[in-house]
Each structure stands twice: as C-alpha cells, then as structure tokens.
Amino acid sequence: MNTVITKPTTTPDYAAIKQRQQATWASGDFAVIGTTLQIVGEMLAEAADIRSGERVLDVAAGNGNATLAAARRFADVTSTDYVPALLDKGRGRAEAEGLAVKFQVADAEALPFEDHGFDVVLSTFGVMFTPNQAQAAREMLRVVRPGGRIGLANWTPEGLIGRLFKIVGAHVPPPAGLSSPALWGTEAHLVSLFGPKARDLQVQRKMFPFRYRSAEHFVQVFRDLYGPTHKAFAALDAAGQASLERQILALLNEVDIGGGHGLVAPSEYAEIVITVG
C-alpha cells in the first residue's frame, strides 16, 4: 500500500503545540506500553554498534528503552526527555538493574549540550513526535561528533501504528501545519533532514509484533494509557468514541496473525543508522 503524506504549508505555533504534547505524553501511563518495545532498543543498539565507553545520548527517551540497551553495553549514557514523569520511569528501571545513567530533562529541539559532545545519538519512537522536525534533526546533528552515529527507530506510514495515527487524526485533527510523525519512517524525508550531513544513511524496515489478549484488550490499554489515544478518546463525544473504537478494532482484526490465540499485530518500523560526515 502506497501512502502519500503531504507536508504542511502554514507555520504552526510550535511552542503552543509542545505544551499540549507534554500534557498528552504525561497523561495515561506510557511506560506500561513502552516497556513492551524494549527489544527495539536492543536491536537499535546493535545496529548502531554501541561500544563500551562511548558517550551516548538518548533523545526523547521516554521510559528508557534505548537508554537501558546502551547502558547494558557499558556506554556512558545520558537519557533525556521533556516529560519528567517518563524520565522517572527510566530512572527506576536503571536503578533496578544497577546501571549508571545520567537523566536530564531536555527538549529535543533545544538540547542543552555542547557541539560534538556525543559519539552516538539514539531515539526509539521519540524524536519522530517533535513538532519542528527539521530543528530536532539539526540538534541531533549538532551534538554528535563527526564520524559519530545517529540511530533511530520510527514507525512507518504503512505500518499498524502509522495507520492508527491516520484513524485518530481523522477523528481529532492534529494542529494546522504540523507534519506527520510518520514522515520519519520514510527514507525520502530522512534524506531531506540528514542527507547533506550524512556520510552514510542506512534504512531497514522491520516488524514489531504487538501482543495483547485481544483486539479489544489493545484498544482498552491504548485508550487508558497511551497519551495520544487517551487524549483523543477524551476529546470525543460518545458517538465519536464508538466510531474511533470500531475503526481501530477493524484495523487490528485486519492485521492480526494470532489465529485466535491472542492478538499478534505486526507494525512496521524503520531502523535507521546514520553516520555523520
């Protein structure tokens, strides 16, 4: 299926959007869902070839999947997010494993670090949600050293989560002028963001299977705990909520490969490793 995503033509109010996003991600309890994605962080750490002693920055780290993966490889890790509650979850996980990690509240579009201060910059399903995508890319490029790597895991437009974004957006439209986060899962957009500064840009499409008791269980968990869907349901009246639920259930049942033994819903994502020139 070919998905066409148009870029905005108006300049959005990034500051106002960011305030709403912070409230959205602080709602629910993303960490419950986030921990199920840990394997993506481990695979990204391998793809980015994290070495012991390397200075690694996790941008928009959420509850710390890439953070923990890098720390388990004995890197010197700094974990950042602009939602303190999410960093607290990551801190608790690191402490439980006895991993030494620095945690710092930071905006991905204005990273409080010196130029070329890191060997590797990572982000799993995080930086893709920044409202000013070009600025976030510039900041990652600024803080990584020449010859260093940027490793990303981003949902694609064609995958389950990319299609879920479209369903939610049809019920609760995003702010005017905002680019789709799923653009970060397309090679053309990545080239536009990083290409001029990239010595090498590798993109591999992979699958992450969401595993829940049923489609209904998935919807309930995402409705209660995943900030964007939690806020979307809250913004709709009863009829709108019922419509949104029906469409998500239809999508899940379409992609389910569980064969009636629990939901197994693969979602495509792009694993990206950029070597900075």
pLDDT in tens, 247-263: 999 999 999 999 999 99
- Which pLDDT value is given to residue 9? 52
The CATH number that applies at residue 57 is: 3.40.50.150
**Residues 20-42, mean pLDDT to the nearest whole number:** 89
**Residues 18-44, mean pLDDT to the nearest whole number:** 89
* Distance between CA atoms of residues 276 and 196, nearest Å: 9
The better pLDDT of the pair 29, 102 is held by 102
In single-letter form, the type of residue at position 214 comes to S
In single-letter form, the type of residue at position 33 comes to I
Does any domain span residue 155?
yes
Does any domain span residue 144?
yes
Per-residue pLDDT tens digits for 195-220: 889 999 999 999 999 999 999 999 99
**Residues 146-151, mean pLDDT to the nearest whole number:** 98
Of 95, 97, 52, nearest to 77 by C-alpha is 52
Question: Which domain covers residue 122, as residue numbers?
Answer: 14-210+268-276
Do residues 97 and 123 make contact, with C-beta atoms less than 8 angstroms apart?
no
Please report which confidence band the pLDDT of residue 2 belongs to, taking 50, 70 and 90 as the band edges.
very low
Q: Structurally, how many domains does the chain consist of?
A: 1
Residues ≥6 apart with Cβ < 8 Å to 165? 155, 180, 181, 182, 228
**Residues 34-53, mean pLDDT to the nearest whole number:** 97
Does any domain span residue 224?
no
Q: Is the pLDDT of residue 7 over 70?
A: no
Average the pLDDT over each of 57-61, 121-125, 228-232, 267-271 and give the range with the smallest value: 228-232
**Residues 239-245, mean pLDDT to the nearest whole number:** 98
Mean pLDDT (the chain) is: 94
State the alpha helices, DSSP H only, in the chain: 14-26, 30-34, 38-47, 65-72, 84-97, 133-143, 160-171, 187-194, 215-225, 227-235, 238-255
**Residues 102-120, mean pLDDT to the nearest whole number:** 98
- Which pLDDT value is given to residue 257? 98
Does any domain span residue 7?
no
The tokens describing 185, both together, are 């899962």
Does any domain span residue 246?
no
Do residues 230 and 27 make contact, with C-beta atoms less than 8 angstroms apart?
yes
**Residues 155-174, mean pLDDT to the nearest whole number:** 96
Q: Is the pLDDT of residue 188 over 90?
A: yes
Does any domain span residue 119?
yes
Question: Quick one: what percent of the chain has pLDDT higher than 70?
Answer: 96
* Distance between CA atoms of residues 33 and 228, nearest Å: 12
Q: Is the pLDDT of residue 6 over 80?
A: no
Of 33, 86, 98, 13, nearest to 229 by C-alpha is 33
Q: Is the pLDDT of residue 17 over 70?
A: yes
Does any domain span residue 179?
yes
**Which residues share a beta bridge with 110?**
107
Please report which confidence band the pLDDT of residue 80 belongs to, taking 50, 70 and 90 as the band edges.
very high
Q: Which helix (H) or strand (E) holds 81?
A: strand 76-81
Does any domain span residue 254?
no
Q: Is the pLDDT of residue 93 over 70?
A: yes
- Which pLDDT value is given to residue 182? 95
Q: Is the pLDDT of residue 10 over 80?
A: no
Average the pLDDT over each of 28-37, 103-112, 119-128, 230-239 and give the range with the smallest value: 28-37
- Which pLDDT value is given to residue 42? 98
Please report which confidence band the pLDDT of residue 12 belongs to, taking 50, 70 and 90 as the band edges.
confident
